[in-house]
Structure 1
Amino acid sequence: MKYRLAIASVLLAWQGPLLYAQDSLRTTQLQNVVVTGQFEPQSIRQSVYQVRTISYAQIVRRGATDLQSVLATELGVRFTNDLALGTSDIRLMGMGGQAVKILLDGVPLLERGESREALNQIDINTVDHIEIVEGPMSVMYGTDALAGVLNIITKKYDGHWNLEARVLEETAGDEYDPFTDKGVHNESVGAHWQRGKWSAGGSVTRNNSGGWNEGHYPSDLPAQPMRWHPKEQWLGMGNVGFSTGKLTLRYRLNYTDETINSLGTYNPRVGQAVDKEYITHRYNHQVQADWNLTERLVYNGVASYQDYSRRTRTVLYDMATGATWLSPGAGTQDETNFSMAMSRGTFLYRLSDRISLQPGYDINLSKGAGDRIDREREINDYAVFATAEFKPTSSLNIRPGVRFIHNSAYDAPPVVPSVNTKFQLSSRLDLRWAYAYGFRSPALRELYFSFHDASHDVYGNENLKAEYSNSFIGSLAWQAYTGNKSQLNSTLAGFYNTFKDQIILATVADPSVPSGRISRYENITKSRTIGTTLDNNYQYGGLQVSLGFSYIGVSDPVKAAEGDLELLWSPEVRTNVAYTWSKPATTVSLYYKYTGKSSNYETVTPEGSTEPITRLATRENFQWADFTVAQRINRMLDLTLGVRNLLDVTTLRNTSLDVGNAHSGGGDVPMSYGRSYFLSLYFHLTK
């Protein structure tokens, strides 16, 4: 195979000392220090929240081209793939992407719908580390933060100037062409300069994927229409900063240009294929300010303007002549535009060593327009909030908070409260307990969306109510052993959430359409989730081992709509093992995760019947494993190679019969294009 020859040629060319025991890029990240939801940067152990991090070293060792590859083996994290649209969505602790707040350096990312597709439109080459805060964060971050917050922290540089470049080549199953078409191809270049009070930088990244089993010739077209689409993605970033002893100002622009090609199945009756292009443009302007007004008073502010557009272009392709023309069919040509302006600021005032106050404001102005939205619509959200930290003793930290909201589109709750506590039971044992009242406002798409084609009738619902939750979360963290060369810690956690007026995309009978039913966003009266996790981490010298387990139950929307809150349970087991040899320095890593069977109820009408029934559908369990080897060729060049999806998982058996819903889960579930091999070279120079 061509890709095996390419990897072998690089291996034969290795010369010089090899080192990968430490990060190859110096950043300002301090070990085990977090910022999400904190009054100021502090260690994970001191935080009142249950926080976990994915470090820069872990990201580099994965050799990933997107954040999904890094997060997929995390405990309590799952992804679903929509091959019809070429997008993915995240689930956290049993809750869907619409309940997960995605932040980029503390700024929420604009989404066009309930799925969190922006996660795969972040340049992983600019990421320093990832912070995951479990549990509702509605007081601090407002709507959508019911399951938790995922904060992507970008790199900060030392030195007068920095240069870096990366090339990654990966197969798609057994398919590969160098640098373009078949396989996965990532190229990135970046530079950063700093002198005195000023700094500036920028980067450009290209992500190219040839898809899987693509082709226009009948012999090349797959038997099944669902397959991985070719994608061309360009990610650009530019920033400038100014810093004095008391004031720091930063501006950054992120840009995304993405084209996903959906190559349609050949129709021999007419000699044509129907191809679609999904074209996305995203701009994100962000200004941040940190100002130490006095020794006791600090202001942190951020303002952002984001613009997003997604266009669907459908083309008919004549197989005999090669001619193409735009499809005139309903819903085949459209464009949707969204924009969001936001401003958020906090004032931290330290009354004493034991008491701190943090009032703040949060303004979000959202607009949406397009062929699938009933005229231009907007939602404006205004909020003020206040939190405090009380430390009556050195072993007790209590953090209450409240948020007051006014929303232009729905009746906001009069007050959103929360309380987080941390008890240091001993020098090695910490107990955290929290209660939070969470909420999620209806998104523009859920209120005003309208889409119709030959297979789908999807409606928004202007009568939707806001979604509310009462959440309880607790954890017990044990520092079992800490020595010069080794350490062992364990965390046992549990959560219980009840939801009122949860928003779902429901199937509703409607005799006016040919299919006899439509999809419409609806509120369900009650639902709930409950779960427990156990996470263990051990380190001895160059050996790092983590072992975790989760068991999460979720009430099903179909049954919940009938008042039945039966829980459907699913387990997970995860283990990561890494070992670093000192001479010659080599880091070998294995990532493994078992994801248990999942179930859901569905309402279907059996063939030959006119009466719908409710049945239980199941999706089979699966195992995922990645293996990587990371080394340093010299002080400026690192190499990572490995195998993704060692167990060659492609699709999961799914007993669902529901194929009439929008992007339904009927049929087998796509997971990957199979086992793949990758090689990455990373150049970095700091002066």
Structure 2
Amino acid sequence: MKNTLLLALTFILGLNFALAQEQTVKLHGKILTADGLPAWGLSLSIKNTKNVAYTDREGVFAISAPAGNSVLVIKSSVSHQEQEVAVEAAVDKVLATITIKEKSYELNEVVVTGQYEPQSMKNAVYKVRTINAEKIKLRAATNIQQILNTEFGFRFSNDLTLGVSNVEMMGMSGRNVKILLDGVPLVDRSDLKEALNQIDINTVERIEIVEGPMSVVYGTDALAGVINIITKGKSGARFGVSARIQEETAGNEYEAFNGKGNHNKNVSVNWQNNGWSAMAGFSNNTFGGWNVPSKTATRDEVNAIQFWKPKDQYLANARVGYTNAKFNIWYRADFVNEDITSRGGINPNYTVVTQTYTTDRLNNQLHANWNFNKKLSLTMVGGYTNLQRKTKTTQYNFATGAESLTTGAGEQDVAKFNATLFRATLQYRISDLIAVQPGVEINREGASGQRIKGDPVINDYAFFASAEIKPLTVLKLRPAVRLIKNSVYDAPAAVPSLNAMLNLTQQLDLRVGYGRGFRAPALRELYFDFFDASHSIMGNENLKAEKSNSFDASLTWSAIRKSNLQFTTTLAGFYNHFYDRIEYGQYENDPTVTTLINISKYKTTGFSLDNTFNYRDLQLNLGFSYIGRYNELTQGSFGDEVPQFSWTPEFFSNVIYTLPKIKGSVSLAFKHTGSRPSYQINSANPNEVRLAKVGSFTWTDLMINKTINKYLMLNAGVKNLFDITTLTNTATASGGAHSSGGGVVPYSYGRSYVLGLAFNWDKY
């Protein structure tokens, strides 16, 4: 009897479950903005259920709903208001097109970096620049550097000895720039920002740039500003597959699919259903080098040539997450394996030395967000990075055919770095006039290696808090402070900032800000020792943090805001004053040894005018910047002979013209960078100074994109149209650990020709 009842109960429960499953149907629809364009990235949910979905770039969505009458809730990141639409769910039901009240340009200008919550660029207290997915796609870029290269205020330098590049932002070196991946700092082994070009460009949704110190929010290194690389999240499709292949010459050098030139391949998949989502991707970027000497070149012939080293990258990423109306959690992992090969010339004894630099990087991040109600939310971020850089040096003997490892100092080395991050912030909106955001952050960094003393670990603990106050309807204030305790160096006790935004008129916004910035001495600067035949470098465990006082202001005029016509212009200026700057100097106990000391002051200042014009099928960005860098000789006896600042102008333009009739577009990215002057003591006469200059140059990329059908898109074009390879340089020394003195400065491998094909397939 009991068994019979149990079987009957099981049958009834199973029948009810089956019926419930049959009563759940899939709703399909499309959402447009107020000006009739696709509304992408909107959050959708079915009221009183946990079912969620997102619109894709065509505004299309698919969401599960109970059969019968339901309420579709549409949430915008701009207004934070929810729009409810009554719907009738039936099998294969296609809803009528839904129109929201926001316009397309408002949705496209949503920013998150440094904000309490996603909001429109117009309402953000900080001045934020964005580079959206469309521009990234049309540029046919293979790394982040190719995107930023034509943005004003950015400049890149190249170390041909190590085969890496570094970024400069608003007149400040890369060590003063914070690089974030989805808000999590990227770790580098030195002050070179190598990580910037170790990110899979195919996973990037957009790039947000905040100029000026962001040390209160993001801690160390954020003196010049922040570059936040935001990766792709949930797709509107239930399942999708994308792939990309791109071939590119390096100057006039090219071999199909492998060898000389640039060869890029990518494949990725994504899936989402009822709040769950997952995606994974794999890319291979192969660069065959440029101007590489032949295998029979002698050592002297190789040393006389400036050449770009071959590089091979394998990148993999995965993301999984769950979202409902109140809660969002997701995990992401990014892995890169990079090999840079440096082959020397044949020695008189018929041997050749080859060095390989291998980088393995694994970035892990876990994000969680709880919206308890409309006033209170909690955000938590955890991150762990494991970075390993291996140097392997081998010697090949042509006479015997034997290959062996060399034994010189630093020729066999494995340097390991790791970093752990935990950050939690609470956002509480007390009223329409005031909101507060307290937070805590814990960082742990460790390192080991042949050239690093011991196994040092740095622990950093911080509490930060800010408030957003609206004393007037036209005025928004954001005071903030960060309190720091560090286990190794003497951190500043408090780092304050104050930002304000004033709506002078409906079209005119004024932003002003002050920030106290700081940069912690890096592990390499504290504990790195390197002695060989040509280097005598020693770390300094007594370094203090670099500090800065920074001021910035911007005036934005949104002159025209109509459906087909938009014009915005921004005039901005900044001034930064740095103290206790870390520089190389002589070790006091042994003048033959180089070490790092806090000796320098430094300043940067400048202004920019940025204009954006959109009219129907034309998008135009045009502007000018003028950046001044401090001449350190003004601190000494040459102060009367040397101006305080040396100035460099930049002219820039980005144009995208869409051709609907042929389903294509043309994009042009242009930047002219003026000569870069500096003053140095004349080596022939130490009692006089001389003016030195790095020459001006013009960088232009021209790309054409054509949609072949609903699945395929072709891109072709020319990068570095004016064939820039080196910059003139009249300095007697170019600086840097691997500089070769004066002479030309390597900048690029020349004009390149691009041809690529992208595939995308989605199932809703």
TM-score by length of 2: 0.83
Residue deviations 1:299-339 (CA, integer Å, cap 9, x gap): 01100111001011112233455542212222211111000
The aligned residue for residue 166 of structure 1 is: 244
The answer on 1:635 being equivalent to 2:724 is no
Letter aligned with residue 419 of structure 2: M
Task: Assess, with a 3 A threshold, how the Cα gap between structure 1 residues 129 and 411 changes in structure 2: closer, same or farther.
Answer: same
Task: Assess, with a 3 A threshold, how the Cα gap between structure 1 residues 310 and 34 changes in structure 2: closer, same or farther.
Answer: same
Q: If you compute each CA radius of gyration, which structure gives the higher value, 1 or 2?
A: 2
The aligned residue for residue 667 of structure 2 is: 589
Distance in 2 (CA, whole Å) between partners of 1:88 and 1:522 is 24
Aligned partner of residue 263 in structure 1, secondary structure: strand
Distance in 1 (CA, whole Å) between partners of 2:170 and 2:689 is 26
The aligned residue for residue 541 of structure 1 is: 616
> Relative contact order (C-alpha < 8 Å, sep 6+): which is higher?
1
The aligned residue for residue 739 of structure 2 is: 664
The aligned residue for residue 760 of structure 2 is: 684
The aligned residue for residue 311 of structure 2 is: 231
Letter aligned with residue 489 of structure 2: Y
Residue deviations 1:579-614 (CA, integer Å, cap 9, x gap): 1122012211111111111133456865xx9x7986
Task: Assess, with a 3 A threshold, how the Cα gap between structure 1 residues 404 and 430 changes in structure 2: closer, same or farther.
Answer: same
Percentage of matched positions with identical amino acids: 47
- Which is further off, 196-205 or 596-605? 596-605
CA contact (8 A) 1:84 1:226 kept: no
Distance in 2 (CA, whole Å) between partners of 1:291 and 1:503 is 41
The answer on 1:479 being equivalent to 2:558 is yes
The aligned residue for residue 209 of structure 1 is: 287
The aligned residue for residue 129 of structure 2 is: 52
Residue deviations 1:36-86 (CA, integer Å, cap 9, x gap): 000110011100111110010000111010000000000001111111011
Task: Assess, with a 3 A threshold, how the Cα gap between structure 1 residues 588 and 45 changes in structure 2: closer, same or farther.
Answer: same
Distance in 2 (CA, whole Å) between partners of 1:125 and 1:560 is 47
Match of 1:189 among 252, 267, 291: 267
Task: Assess, with a 3 A threshold, how the Cα gap between structure 1 residues 329 and 605 changes in structure 2: closer, same or farther.
Answer: farther
Residue deviations 1:130-186 (CA, integer Å, cap 9, x gap): 000111111101111111110001112222111111101000111111111110011
Structure 1 residues 95-174: aligned runs within 5 Å: 95-156=172-233, 157-174=235-252
Structure 1 residues 19-58: aligned runs within 5 Å: 30-58=107-135
CA contact (8 A) 2:388 2:416 kept: yes
Shift of the alpha carbon at 1:459? Answer: 2.1
Shift of the alpha carbon at 1:561? Answer: 7.8
Task: Assess, with a 3 A threshold, how the Cα gap between structure 1 residues 67 and 561 changes in structure 2: closer, same or farther.
Answer: farther
Shift of the alpha carbon at 1:566? Answer: 2.1
Distance in 1 (CA, whole Å) between partners of 2:174 and 2:223 is 10
Letter aligned with residue 528 of structure 1: K
Distance in 1 (CA, whole Å) between partners of 2:452 and 2:406 is 21
- Which is further off, 228-237 or 291-300? 291-300
In structure 2, the gaps of 5 or more residues are 1-36, 41-55, 60-75, 78-106
The answer on 1:433 being equivalent to 2:512 is yes
Distance in 2 (CA, whole Å) between partners of 1:560 and 1:179 is 54
- Which is further off, 187-196 or 126-135? 187-196
Shift of the alpha carbon at 1:453? Answer: 2.6
Residue deviations 1:463-516 (CA, integer Å, cap 9, x gap): 211111111100000112222322211100000111110122x2438896xxx7
The aligned residue for residue 26 of structure 2 is: none
The answer on 1:489 being equivalent to 2:568 is yes
Shift of the alpha carbon at 1:452? Answer: 2.3
CA contact (8 A) 1:167 1:186 kept: yes
The answer on 1:84 being equivalent to 2:161 is yes
Task: Assess, with a 3 A threshold, how the Cα gap between structure 1 residues 177 and 356 changes in structure 2: closer, same or farther.
Answer: same
Distance in 1 (CA, whole Å) between partners of 2:689 and 2:250 is 38
Residue deviations 1:409-447 (CA, integer Å, cap 9, x gap): 111212111011000111111000001111111010111
Letter aligned with residue 226 of structure 1: Q
Task: Assess, with a 3 A threshold, how the Cα gap between structure 1 residues 517 and 555 changes in structure 2: closer, same or farther.
Answer: farther
The answer on 1:521 being equivalent to 2:521 is no
CA contact (8 A) 2:297 2:345 kept: no
The answer on 1:240 being equivalent to 2:320 is yes
Distance in 2 (CA, whole Å) between partners of 1:518 and 1:567 is 31
The aligned residue for residue 530 of structure 1 is: 605
The aligned residue for residue 334 of structure 2 is: 254
Task: Assess, with a 3 A threshold, how the Cα gap between structure 1 residues 467 and 675 changes in structure 2: closer, same or farther.
Answer: same
Structure 1 residues 448-467: aligned runs within 5 Å: 448-467=527-546
CA contact (8 A) 1:519 1:662 kept: no
Match of 1:599 among 672, 677, 700: 677
Match of 1:578 among 656, 669, 674: 656
Shift of the alpha carbon at 1:214? Answer: 2.4
Match of 1:655 among 727, 730, 739: 730
Distance in 1 (CA, whole Å) between partners of 2:600 and 2:159 is 28
Task: Assess, with a 3 A threshold, how the Cα gap between structure 1 residues 25 and 561 changes in structure 2: closer, same or farther.
Answer: farther
Distance in 2 (CA, whole Å) between partners of 1:337 and 1:44 is 39
Structure 1 residues 406-417: aligned runs within 5 Å: 406-417=485-496
The answer on 1:370 being equivalent to 2:370 is no
Distance in 2 (CA, whole Å) between partners of 1:402 and 1:581 is 49
Shift of the alpha carbon at 1:570? Answer: 1.0
Distance in 2 (CA, whole Å) between partners of 1:298 and 1:238 is 27
Paired positions, count: 659
Distance in 2 (CA, whole Å) between partners of 1:413 and 1:222 is 48
CA contact (8 A) 1:550 1:572 kept: yes
CA contact (8 A) 1:605 1:612 kept: no
- Which is further off, 63-72 or 654-663? 654-663
Distance in 2 (CA, whole Å) between partners of 1:431 and 1:660 is 39
Match of 1:569 among 627, 647, 658: 647
The aligned residue for residue 9 of structure 1 is: none
Distance in 1 (CA, whole Å) between partners of 2:740 and 2:131 is 31
Shift of the alpha carbon at 1:657? Answer: 2.4
Task: Assess, with a 3 A threshold, how the Cα gap between structure 1 residues 522 and 511 changes in structure 2: closer, same or farther.
Answer: closer
The aligned residue for residue 423 of structure 1 is: 502
Aligned partner of residue 138 in structure 2, secondary structure: helix
CA contact (8 A) 1:617 1:654 kept: yes
Distance in 2 (CA, whole Å) between partners of 1:604 and 1:288 is 55
Task: Assess, with a 3 A threshold, how the Cα gap between structure 1 residues 319 and 646 changes in structure 2: closer, same or farther.
Answer: farther
Shift of the alpha carbon at 1:562? Answer: 7.7
The aligned residue for residue 292 of structure 1 is: 371
Distance in 2 (CA, whole Å) between partners of 1:626 and 1:439 is 36
Distance in 1 (CA, whole Å) between partners of 2:672 and 2:706 is 28
Shift of the alpha carbon at 1:197? Answer: 2.9
CA contact (8 A) 1:651 1:669 kept: yes
CA contact (8 A) 1:217 1:319 kept: no
Aligned partner of residue 108 in structure 2, secondary structure: coil
Distance in 1 (CA, whole Å) between partners of 2:536 and 2:133 is 44
Shift of the alpha carbon at 1:272? Answer: 2.8
Distance in 1 (CA, whole Å) between partners of 2:461 and 2:267 is 39
In structure 1, the gaps of 5 or more residues are 1-20
Q: CA RMSD in A?
A: 2.3
Letter aligned with residue 254 of structure 1: D
Structure 1 residues 56-71: aligned runs within 5 Å: 56-71=133-148
Distance in 2 (CA, whole Å) between partners of 1:214 and 1:664 is 19
Distance in 2 (CA, whole Å) between partners of 1:222 and 1:334 is 24
Letter aligned with residue 326 of structure 2: K
Task: Assess, with a 3 A threshold, how the Cα gap between structure 1 residues 511 and 500 changes in structure 2: closer, same or farther.
Answer: closer
Distance in 2 (CA, whole Å) between partners of 1:520 and 1:561 is 22
- Which is further off, 575-584 or 171-180? 575-584
Aligned partner of residue 708 in structure 2, secondary structure: strand
